[in-house]
Structures are given as C-alpha cells and as structure tokens.
C-alpha cells in the first residue's frame, strides 16, 4: 500500500535561533549560532536558551499550567500565525476531528525542581500552591495545548527521550489512516531544567565548549530548549511527510549500538514506507549530538545504508540538543532546507574525525533539495527517521 503523504500546511518553531520560521531560516543561511555560554546553571557549558520564556504569561483560565515548558509552548503557538491556522482548520474539520500528538522528554520538571528547593528546612511538604499535574505530569503539555487551541480530538504525549517529537508524526499518520482524526497538530516542547543539565553532566556527556558534531575534538552536547508545532493535512500541495521508520536498539540505556543497528533499521523502514531508494535522498539532517559514541554510531549506520553518497549535517551546533523537541525542530529545519533550497552547515565542525566517513556539509550551500531524511535517536535506544519532500495533488 502506498503511504499517503501528510502535508505540513502550517508550522512554527522557537529555539535559540529565535522566534519563528524566518528567524531559523536567516540564522541557518547566515551561519549564526544560537548557542551562548550557559547562564541557566553554574555548569561550565554552552546552552541553546530561548530569550524571554519566563516573561510569557498564560491566559487567565490556564494559569494552573504555568511553567517554563508550557510558557515556551505558548510562545510558539502564537508565532507564525500557528494558532490562527489551527483555528481555521477547526472550521474545516471540527475540533473533535483534529488529533493532538506532542513530544516532550522532561515536561515541566523545572516546576517540581523549584518546589523541592522551596521546601521548609527538614520538611517533606512541598509548597501548597505547587500544581504538579498542570506543570510536570507527562501529559501536561498536551493537556495545556488542547485547552489553549480549543481542540476536542484524540490527544497524547509521546515521551521517548530525544526521539519524542519525531515519533509524533508516525502516530499522527496512523491515527489519520485509522480514521480516528482527519488532521493533526503535532509538535514537541522541551525546556531548560536542572535535571537534564546535571543529568547529562553526571554521564560526562556535556561539552564545556560549543558542541562540534562529527569533529575530531567533539566531547559532548550542549543542552538546548525549543518548541515547534506543525499542522498535518491530507490532499494538500506543499512539503509533506513521505514516510517514517521507528525501531529500538535493544543494546544499552544511554549508549547507542556501536554499529548503528537500530538507527539503520529506522532509516530502512522510512525509505521502504516512502517507497524511495537511497539515491533519492538529497540530504540527511543528522541526529548528530556531538558525543563521541553517538556520532560514531550514526556515521556507521548512514555509511552502511548510503555508502558515502549523501550529504548530511547536524544543527545541534546552532540550537543545542533540544531533546524531546529535537524531532520537530530538525523536521522544520529540513522543511526550510527544501523550501529555501539550501543545505545547512554542520556548524562548529572544523576538523572531521578521520574515523567517520560520511560527507558532512561544512558550509551552508545553495542546493535544490527535494527530499530529506531527518534522524532522531534517544536514550533507551529509541530511534525514529522521518522523510520529507514536496507533494502535489
């Protein structure tokens, strides 16, 4: 059965590159990184922080959801006319026929972190006004977004670490094919918090410098935050999801398979569903976190499938690793690459590790990009590859 493409009829992105599609496009075209020396914690690292998140106020009726993660979500929903596009879609499909599938890794855990800091000395009691369900519970992001957009359809949060907001595209496609909804809001949000900063530091996976994917001196990630949303519809012209592939590593909780076994399987499945061969992929937006093991594993997987015949880059050197928001953020970067016709550079990659073999784009280059694969791989060995390209009906 031929996979039915789902067109992104509206989309928006907020990351360290700025607010909106144009901000991301301009930064990518002019090689302007969003990474800055980290001022969120005392860790000596760089981070992809979004300016002004803490100043966003949620609507009065939704105050119980107030936390950095949902503030970042609200910022994105009000960008690029996204909320208005969803309102217009509701008029076409009805609110109950639009699905809502969002990814996050840590949800609003920052609110729980703060509540633990605010405990009285020697007391186990968290502050009375701390709203755990509204802020930190895994579903909070979708609960908030559903109320914010006035949607009444099926909803869920996918939380599979750094593949979360890539996998939402696959779930949306299945729900639409099953007839459970006619269109879908997909996206993902993850925001800076102490848990991920000190957690990655405890695993010695944080770089003290701007991260350098595929570089011989790469030594870890920079944590970033981002929010992104897309509206998926059938039978529309534009850039569309052409296929997806999901797999598990079955190898280790925090280290990828050394031969990229799970990543390879996800890429193969995506190509198979899209009925495309490897020569038809113009560019791979790599997961490329800039840890020694991750890039080695992904390089191995790409080489096994594509040999050296496709160009790739990681945008982690622009945005940092936005974790549960990486899937949607990098999907949108891929779509911008198709719409604007360029290959984004792998920023900060100076001297390619001679043990890595795939072709890395080191300078943003004009190119008529037709079809892109976007990779997202996460802890627990959760892999997702998406393929985007133009479709016309």
Partner 1 sequence: MRVSVESVGLVAPGLNGWQAAMHVLRGDALLEHIALPAFKPELLPVNERRRTTSLIKLALMVIEDALAQSHYQMNELATVFASSEGDVEIVDRICTALTLPDHPVSPTHFHNSVHNAPAGYWAIAAGARHFSTSLAAGTDTFIAGLLEAASVSSLEQMPVLFVAYDYPLPPALAGRGYVDAVFATAMIIKPANSNDMNVFSLSLKSGTVEPPYLVAQLAELRKQNPAAAALPLLCVLAGKTTGTLAFPYHAGLSLHIEVE
- Among all residues, which ones are annotated catalytic? 162, 287, 321
Closest to 15 in 3D by CA, of 319, 273, 218: 319
> Mask of contacts with partner 1, 319-338, x by CB under 8 A?
--------------------
Nearest approach in angstroms of CB 184 to partner 1 is: 13
Q: Which is nearer to partner 1, 155 or 281 (CB)?
A: 155
CA distances 160 to 165, 347, 382, Å, are 9, 26, 6
Q: Kindly tell me which residue out of 108, 154, 210, 344 binds partner 1, with binding defined by CB under 8 A.
A: 154
Identify residues 186-215 at the interface with partner 1 (CB under 8 A). Answer: 194-195, 198-203
Which C-beta is closer to partner 1: that of 259 or that of 340?
259
Q: At closest approach, how far in Å is the CB of 177 from partner 1? A: 6
Residues with Cβ within 8 Å of 310's Cβ and at least 6 positions away in sequence, in order, are 278, 281, 282, 283, 284, 302, 358, 359
Q: Contact between 363 and partner 1 (CB under 8 A)? A: no
- The token duo for 47 is 């981070």
Q: What residues between 1 and 20 interact with partner 1 by CB under 8 A?
A: none
Please, which residue, 71 or 107, has the CB nearer to partner 1?
A: 107
Bridge partners, residue 156, by sequence: 101
Burial class (CB in 10 A: 0-12, 13-18, 19+), 339: middle
Q: Hey, is 371 helix, strand or coil?
A: strand
392 binds partner 1 (CB under 8 A): no
Interaction between residue 62 and partner 1 (CB under 8 A): no
Q: DSSP 3-state assignment of 378?
A: strand
Shortest reach from residue 229's CB to partner 1, in Å: 18
Q: Within a 10 A sphere around the Cβ of 1, how many other Cβ atoms? A: 5
Site for partner 1 in 88-117 (CB under 8 A): 96, 105, 109, 112-113, 115-117
> Min. distance of Cβ 231 from partner 1 in angstroms?
19
Tokens at 382, concatenated: 């959760």
Query: Binder to partner 1 among 51, 132, 258, 307 (CB under 8 A)?
Result: 132
| Minimum distance of partner 1 from residue 328's CB (angstroms) | 16
By CB under 8 A, is residue 248 in contact with partner 1?
Answer: yes
**Residue 178 in the binding site for partner 1 (CB under 8 A):** yes
Selected binder of partner 1 within 206, 265, 326, 373 (CB under 8 A):
265
Beta-carbon contacts of 113 under 8 Å, excluding residues fewer than 6 positions away, are 193, 194, 195
Stretch that binds partner 1, among 7-15, 133-141, 210-218, 314-322 (CB under 8 A): 133-141
Residue closer to partner 1 (CB basis): 16 or 142: 142
Enumerate the H helices of 290-347 as residue ranges.
292-306, 316-319, 326-340
To partner 1, the closest distance from the beta carbon of 48 in angstroms equals 20
In degrees, to the nearest 5, what angle opens at C-alpha 110 toward C-alphas 107 and 112? 95
- Binds partner 1 by CB under 8 A, chosen from 82, 144, 318, 379: 379
Q: How far is the CB of 214 from partner 1 (least distance, A)?
A: 24
Q: Which residue is listed with tokens 């779930």? A: 171
The per-residue b/e assignment along 106-133, b for 16 or more CB within 10 angstroms, e otherwise, is bbbbbbbbbbeeeeeeeeeeeeeebbee
- Distance set, CA 375 to CA 167, 284, 326, 392 (Å): 11, 7, 9, 24
Options 85-93, 154-162, 207-215, 363-371: segment touching partner 1 (CB under 8 A): 154-162
CA-based nearest residue to 28, from 370, 347, 371 = 347
Number of residues engaging partner 1 in binding (CB under 8 A)? 65
**Judged by CB under 8 A, which of 66, 171, 207, 329 binds partner 1?**
171
Q: Are strands 371-378 and 283-285 parallel, antiparallel or unpaired?
A: parallel
CA 66 to each of CA 12, 41, 56, 72, 315: distance values in angstroms, whole numbers, following the listed order: 21, 21, 9, 10, 29
Which positions touch partner 1 (CB under 8 A)? Answer: 96, 105, 109, 112-113, 115-117, 119, 124-126, 130, 132-133, 136-139, 142-143, 146, 152-161, 167, 171, 174-175, 177-180, 194-195, 198-203, 246-254, 261-262, 265, 378-382
């Amino acid at each position: 059965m031929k996979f039915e493409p789902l067109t992104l009829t509206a989309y928006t992105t907020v990351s360290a590159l700025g607010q909106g599609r144009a901000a991301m496009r301009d930064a990518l075209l002019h090689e302007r990184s969003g990474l800055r020396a980290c001022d969120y914690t005392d860790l000596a690292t760089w981070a992809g922080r979004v300016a002004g998140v803490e100043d966003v106020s949620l609507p009065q009726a939704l105050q119980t959801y107030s936390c950095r993660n949902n503030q970042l979500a609200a910022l994105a929903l009000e960008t690029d006319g996204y909320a208005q596009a969803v309102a217009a879609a509701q008029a076409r499909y009805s609110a109950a026929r639009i699905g809502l599938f969002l990814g996050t890794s840590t949800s609003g855990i920052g609110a729980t972190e703060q509540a633990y800091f605010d405990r009285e000395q020697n007391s186990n009691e968290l502050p009375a006004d701390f709203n755990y369900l509204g802020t930190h519970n895994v579903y909070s992001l979708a609960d908030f977004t559903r109320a914010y957009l006035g949607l009444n359809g099926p909803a869920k949060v996918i939380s599979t670490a750094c593949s979360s907001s890539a996998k939402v595209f696959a779930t949306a496609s299945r729900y639409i094919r099953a007839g459970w909804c006619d269109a879908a809001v997909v996206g993902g949000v993850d925001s800076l918090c102490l848990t991920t900063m000190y957690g990655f530091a405890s695993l010695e996976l944080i770089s003290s410098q701007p991260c350098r994917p595929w570089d011989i001196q790469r030594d870890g990630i920079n944590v970033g935050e981002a929010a992104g949303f897309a509206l998926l519809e059938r039978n529309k012209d534009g850039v569309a999801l052409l296929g997806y592939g999901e797999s598990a590593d079955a190898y280790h909780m925090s280290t990828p398979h050394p031969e990229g076994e799970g990543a390879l399987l996800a890429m193969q499945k995506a190509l198979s569903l899209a009925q495309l061969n490897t020569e038809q992929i113009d560019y791979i937006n790599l997961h490329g976190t800039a840890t020694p093991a991750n890039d080695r594993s992904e390089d191995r997987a790409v080489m096994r499938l594509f040999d050296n015949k496709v160009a790739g880059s990681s945008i982690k050197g622009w945005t940092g690793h936005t974790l549960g928001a990486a899937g949607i953020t990098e999907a949108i970067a891929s779509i911008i690459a198709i719409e604007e016709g360029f290959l984004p550079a792998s920023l900060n990659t100076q001297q390619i590790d001679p043990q890595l073999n795939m072709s890395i784009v080191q300078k943003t280059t004009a190119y008529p990009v037709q079809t892109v694969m976007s990779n997202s791989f996460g802890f627990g060995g959760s892999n997702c590859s998406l393929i985007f390209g133009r479709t016309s009906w």
